[in-house]
Chain A
Amino acid sequence: SQQGEEDPQALSIQEGENATMNCSYKTSINNLQWYRQNSGRGLVHLILIRSNEREKHSGRLRVTLDTSKKSSSLLITASRAADTASYFCATEETSGSRLTFGEGTQLTVNP
C-alpha cells in the first residue's frame, strides 16, 4: 500500500518559475525523503529530512516537513527544462525499516 500521496499529480510550468509539490502521509515517521525519476530510469535521491527537522535546503531545492499535519513540500526554485521528471516522496515509518513511496508528481518544465 502507498503511504504518501503527492499533490498535484501533474504540474506544468515555464522555465525560470518555481515548482511546489506536496506530500501527505499517514503514520509516524523517522524521516521523509524526496526522489526524482526520469522516464525509463531508476530513482535518484534528492534530499532527506528527519522527523525532528522542519526545513532543509540543497541547492535549488527546499523541503519542509510538518509532522503535526503529516505533510511535506518540495520547492524547486528557478526551474530548468532538465528538471522535467517525476518526483516522489518516501517515508520511513517508525514501526519498520521499509521506505514507502507515494504516487508521484509529474513535473514538466517548458523551455
Chain B
Amino acid sequence: GAGVSQTPSNKVTEKGKYVELRCDPISGHTALYWYRQSLGQGPEFLIYFQGTGAADDSGLPNDRFFAVRPEGSVSTLKIQRTERGDSAVYLCASSLTGRGRSPLHFGNGTRLTVT
C-alpha cells in the first residue's frame, strides 16, 4: 500500500479487557511513532521506534501500555486492563529516517472506545 495502514479503524471494548492495535508503516520507513489524540486536542506522543528498538518510550502513560516492532516494520500497540480514560484515537506515523529529517506520514488512526 502507498500509505500507513492502521487496523482496526474502530475498536469497542469493555473496561478491563486487553486490546491490540496494529500499524503497517510505509515500506522502507525506519522510524515509527505512536500518538494518542483526544477530541479537540493535539496528538500526544506515546513512543518512537527506530528500526526494531524503542528509541523513546517516555510518552507511554503507565505500564499498562506496551508497543513492539519485532521486525522493524509492523508495530503493535498493546493496552492491558483498559480503562475508560484510554478512549481516544490512536495514531501511527512513519518517516523515512526519523529525527525530523523527514516528515511524518500518518495513518487514519484507530478509534478506541472503552465502555
Contact = CB atoms under 8 A, between A and B. Distances in A.
Interface of A: 2, 4, 30-31, 33, 35, 40-45, 48, 88, 92, 96-104
Interface of A, secondary structure class, is: strand
Contacts of B99: 30, 92, 97
A79 B55 CA distance: 39
B82 to A, nearest CB: 22
B106 A101 contact: no
19 contacts: A31-B100, A35-B104, A41-B108, A42-B91, A42-B108, A43-B43, A43-B91, A43-B93, A43-B104, A43-B106, A45-B104, A48-B100, A92-B100, A97-B50, A97-B100, A98-B59, A100-B45, A101-B35, A101-B44
Contacts of B91: 42-43
B109 interface: yes
A42 B109 contact: yes
Given A42-B109, A98-B33, 4 more contacts: A42-B4, A42-B91, A43-B91, A97-B99
Given A43-B104, A43-B106, A45-B103, A97 B44 contact: no
